[in-house]
Structure 1
Amino acid sequence: MADFGELKRKSLREIWQHEATAFTPWLARNIEALGDALGMELELAGEEVAVGDFSLDLLANDLGTGGRVIIENQLTPSDHDHLGKLITYAAGFGAEKVIWLAETLREEHRQALEWLNQRTDEETQFFAVTVDVLQIDNSRPAYDFKVLVMPNEWQKTAKRRRSAPNSDKGERYREFYQRLIDDLREKHHFTGARVGQPQNWYSFSSGHTGIRYGLVFTQGGKVRAELYIDLGDAEKNQQVFNYLEQRKNEIETDYGASLSWEGLDNRRASRVAIYREGSIQDEGETLDDIHDWSVGELLRMKRVFSERVREIVRML
């Protein structure tokens, strides 16, 4: 007969004593897990960010769209005070996505967020997430993000199609990237992203703010897989790029191919990349080949650069 343990649900305050000094920093360190639950690639942009006389808990970037994301969290059930803060912060940052994370979500607040999702334009999306902390007997506690409110994508898409004519090229990009992120997520656990976008690029988190993996269809008829470096500071960008470039021979040997080392003169950012011929207008087997190449190169980028990026970030 099976011997089962006792499953206990712990209150958030048993785990985190203080919201600003304990819960928010923990959430910042685990922002990728939150993104996975929401189907996004989230990259931290700031903690306790000033908005007039107020302070936003977390500011992030959605790497899939380049849009701003605001995150307001609390260790207690949702309340009117935090709902008001959400609206204030969303306006202050021109946020694309608004995430409210609480211990529990009151029904009236769930209705309020769903109403906002129905009434706002297709560029603004509201989410509500709760955190369950579970423990079996005296084991280490485990957390679970539960998404209770998210936009109705069908309604948003229908609204977008009514307000703007379809772009065949944009739709081809969306379909290509949807297939790419689905494969990377389901087969390789490379990303938590779930929604392809009608754009010529897509970025993925490296686990370090300002350093990303990316796939781009260039205007010159090429496809580029890249490690993109922009920490918001030209000097730090140069330090990271120089550290990697000094190890060019060992990196390219490990990678199994020559790479393009692009310091991007007159620009703050830099990149290490590999290219192939290709266009989103390609058909059939050619586009399938671009897809397979893209998956393979992004996986190689992560394998080769992950630890080396971690080393230089520690040194900054």
Structure 2
Amino acid sequence: MEETDLSHLGQLLTYATGSGAQVAIWVAPEFGYEHAQALHRLNKWTKESIRFFGVKIEVFKKAGDEHLEARFRKVVYPGGWNKQVTLPSGEMPATKRQYYEFFQPLITKLRGEGFADKAVNYFDHTGRFFPSRLDEDTGYAVSFWNNGAWVSLHVRTWDSIERNNRIFDELQKAKPEIEESLDAEWVWHRFGPHSFFTISIRRDSSIDDSSEKLEETRGWMLDQLPKLKKSSIRTWSGS
């Protein structure tokens, strides 16, 4: 399955009218803003007995369960639509499209493995952030920056600079153990006086690399994220 496009919309309408269906359901992993808006307007323009639905499908794995499960989220339904879960309006600029196509398979795999419930844009469009289930402002990120690919732990405790510093200090005490768990170039950065710090690993890479090199980088990110999470979560959650 792939994100929605105009040909899919045309096929949906053709098949629905050809079969005399009164309910049409469009299922896709991503909905473009314009396509979701079109379904919403069809619901407004047609009589009440004819209904259109847009449904986003996500695949995830529950913690401790090896089986994949599907989760369905309503994007369009009679009487409303959820704009927040659609892709940006208009044709994506070429550069933004590069990042989207790189990160989307990574996000799908991480969701399927139960690593995180969602991903949000990070550093505009050059990275993705996976919020912790415990705190929306804390989590893990992958990004391209400064001629490198990065995997990072981000901790933000806006309510307490003291708590932020305590967590960072506790992690630093375990620094040899954490760094030994991953063979990588490490960067520890406390953003004082703000309640924010990052612990990151890096490798040389660019979004303009060859498809083979980008595949290697994606595989590296997928390998490093769970390891970074495992090596840091015990100290972090205990602070």
Report the TM range for the smaller structure's normalisation.
Answer: 0.5 to 0.7
Residue of structure 1 equivalent to 2:116: 191
Quote the Cα distance in structure 1 between the aligned partners of 2:219 and 2:72.
33
Give the conservation status (yes or no) of the 8 Å contact 2:121–2:127.
no
Give the conservation status (yes or no) of the 8 Å contact 1:244–1:308.
yes
- Greater CA drift, 266-275 or 166-175: 266-275
SS at match of 2:115: coil
Q: How does 1:162-201 map to 2 (within 5 A)?
A: 166-186=92-112, 188-193=113-118, 199-201=125-127
**Are residue 288 (structure 1) and residue 215 (structure 2) matched?**
yes
Shift of 1:147: 4.3
SS at match of 1:192: coil
- The one-letter amino acid of 1:167's match is P
Query: Alpha carbons of 1:215 and 1:195: their partners in 2 closer, same or farther (altered >3 Å)?
Result: closer
Shift of 1:268: 3.5
Give the conservation status (yes or no) of the 8 Å contact 1:225–1:294.
yes
Shift of 1:263: 1.3
Query: What TM-score comes out, normalization by structure 1 length?
Result: 0.46
The C-alpha deviation readout for 1:78-111, integer Å capped at 9, x for no partner, is: xxxxxxxxxxxxxxxxxxxxxxxxxxxxxxxxxx
Give the conservation status (yes or no) of the 8 Å contact 1:211–1:230.
yes
Shift of 1:152: 7.3
**Are residue 249 (structure 1) and residue 172 (structure 2) matched?**
no
Percent sequence identity over aligned pairs: 23
Unaligned 5+ runs, structure 1: 1-38, 40-113, 119-126, 128-144
Query: Alpha carbons of 1:149 and 1:258: their partners in 2 closer, same or farther (altered >3 Å)?
Result: closer
The C-alpha deviation readout for 1:215-255, integer Å capped at 9, x for no partner, is: 1111x111110100111132221111111011111222234
The C-alpha deviation readout for 1:168-218, integer Å capped at 9, x for no partner, is: 1100111111111012123x3212337889711111133331321111111
Residue of structure 1 equivalent to 2:234: 307
| Count of equivalent residues | 169
- The one-letter amino acid of 1:279's match is S
Residue of structure 2 equivalent to 1:230: 156
Query: Alpha carbons of 1:216 and 1:266: their partners in 2 closer, same or farther (altered >3 Å)?
Result: farther
Residue of structure 1 equivalent to 2:133: 207
Shift of 1:257: 4.5
1:160 aligned to which of 62, 67, 89: 89
- The one-letter amino acid of 2:207's match is I
Shift of 1:297: 1.1
Give the conservation status (yes or no) of the 8 Å contact 2:149–2:204.
yes
Shift of 1:309: 1.6
SS at match of 1:296: helix
Unaligned 5+ runs, structure 2: 1-28, 30-39, 45-53, 55-70
Query: Alpha carbons of 1:235 and 1:185: their partners in 2 closer, same or farther (altered >3 Å)?
Result: same
Query: Alpha carbons of 1:278 and 1:257: their partners in 2 closer, same or farther (altered >3 Å)?
Result: closer
Q: How does 1:63-212 map to 2 (within 5 A)?
A: 147-148=73-74, 150=76, 151=81, 157=87, 160-161=89-90, 166-186=92-112, 188-193=113-118, 199-209=125-135, 210-212=137-139
- The one-letter amino acid of 2:89's match is R
1:259 aligned to which of 186, 192, 205: 186
SS at match of 2:238: helix
Query: Alpha carbons of 1:249 and 1:260: their partners in 2 closer, same or farther (altered >3 Å)?
Result: same
- The one-letter amino acid of 1:182's match is T
